[in-house]
Each structure stands twice: as C-alpha cells, then as structure tokens.
Amino acid sequence: MERTLARVNRLILVDGHEQQYLQLRETNVGPSPRELTMVIGRSAAHEITMCLKGDPAPRPMTHELTHTLIQRLSGHIQETVIHELDQGTYFAELRVEHDGEVFGIDCRPSDAIALSLRGSAPIYVTEKVWTQAQS
C-alpha cells in the first residue's frame, strides 16, 4: 500500500456548530503538496487544538486517557494510516505496538490523529485516498 507522510496543516473551528474542519497536507513531496479536508466533531477538534498547542487539560480528556492507558499497558502508538474514503467519510487505522507485535485498530481519523499527535507518531495517507480526495 503506497502512502505518504502528512501533517495537520489547518484546523478550522466554527463557533456554534458541531462540525469542525481538519486539513492535512502531504510533507516531503516538493513544491505542490496535496491537501485534504475532513469534517470532525467539536470534541476531537478541541483535543487536536490542545495537542498542537501543547496545552494540558485540567483533567484528562478521552484521548489523553487512551494514550495513558496504551503507555501503562506497555504499548506505543506507532502510526496512523488514513486508508479509505467512501462517500465523503474517511477511515483510519491506529497502529499500536506491544511486545514487538503491531495491532491495527479501526477508528475515526480525528481520534487516530489526536492520539498520534499526543504520542508524537507519524500520520500517513494512502495514495488511494489522496487520489479520491483530489477528484
């Protein structure tokens, strides 16, 4: 599966709406990187904002709790792969390493991205998704 590294390029927060917008951009690809924009929920947008700014929450939020659980169980977030786009919905897999074995966990891209940001893990987008997102 061909894929490229991506990073969070922009997070568009819309006051008064549940839907927020997250834009990813290809990295290390030259002068014309591709971008894709996905709709995410307000809570995921808040968590991603906190991760990008490095702001701690007064109490652990869901993504921070999940990250802590993975660590305490001797796991490590290896990467996020956004691998599918179907009728405007993106699909992702969070890959977690534990005792030398890598487990793929199906999840929403926003959750996987928040956990990857928290765990300093890379985010990848498959060529198939880049192609579909550009059409």
Mean pLDDT value of segment 34-63: 88
CA distance 131 to 135: 7
pLDDT at position 78: 97
pLDDT at position 18: 87
Q: pTM for this structure?
A: 0.92
Dihedral Cα 75, 76, 79, 83, nearest 10 deg: 10
Residue 59 has pLDDT above 90, yes or no: no
Domains of the chain (ranges plus CATH)?
A: 3-134 (3.10.690.10)
How does 53-70 read in b/e, with b if 16+ C-beta sit within 10 Å? Answer: eeeeeeeeeebbebbeeb
Residue 30 has pLDDT above 80, yes or no: no
> Residue 45 — pLDDT band, cuts 50, 70, 90?
very high
Mean pLDDT value of segment 70-85: 95
pLDDT at position 37: 95
Residue 55 has pLDDT above 90, yes or no: no
Task: Answer yes or no: are the C-beta atoms of 83 and 126 closer than 8 Å.
Answer: yes
For 46, the enclosing helix (H) or strand (E) is: helix 42-53
Residue 83 has pLDDT above 90, yes or no: yes
Q: What one-letter code names the amino acid at 124?
A: Y
pLDDT at position 101: 96
